[in-house]
């Protein structure tokens, strides 16, 4: 068992699963760029804040109000994609300086 798995307490090896999730986030980020173009850091930060709120709401509703747990994963994918986009924009900005 890896240290990460031990910390999560379930003994599950997440190496393959995390790769699948990352690939999904990369694909979602590409879709976002196709739809909205490359956005600046401030716009992405606002979108990240909005998605974090939606993730929090989905989580709380799933736990306490009988909401759909799959919505948590959907919101997490949206947030993950935006975080990757933000990271990419920061790298491009730093290279240009």
pLDDT, residue 97, reads 84
Crossing angle between the packed helical segments 69-96 and 41-64, to the nearest 10 degrees? 160
pLDDT, residue 13, reads 62
- Could you tell me the pTM of the whole model? 0.80
pLDDT, residue 1, reads 39
Average pLDDT along the chain, 97 residues, taken 10 residues at a time = 48 70 96 96 98 98 95 97 97 88
d(CA 30, CA 37): 9
């Amino acid at each position: 068992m890896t240290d990460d798995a031990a910390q999560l307490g379930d003994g599950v090896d997440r190496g393959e699963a995390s790769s699948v999730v990352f690939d999904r986030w990369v694909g979602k980020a590409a879709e976002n760029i196709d739809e909205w173009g490359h956005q600046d850091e401030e716009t992405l930060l606002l979108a990240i804040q909005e998605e974090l709120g939606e993730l929090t709401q989905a989580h709380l509703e799933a736990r306490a109000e009988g909401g759909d747990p799959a919505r948590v994963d959907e919101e997490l994918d949206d947030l993950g994609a935006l975080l990757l986009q933000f990271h990419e924009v920061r790298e491009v900005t730093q290279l240009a300086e």
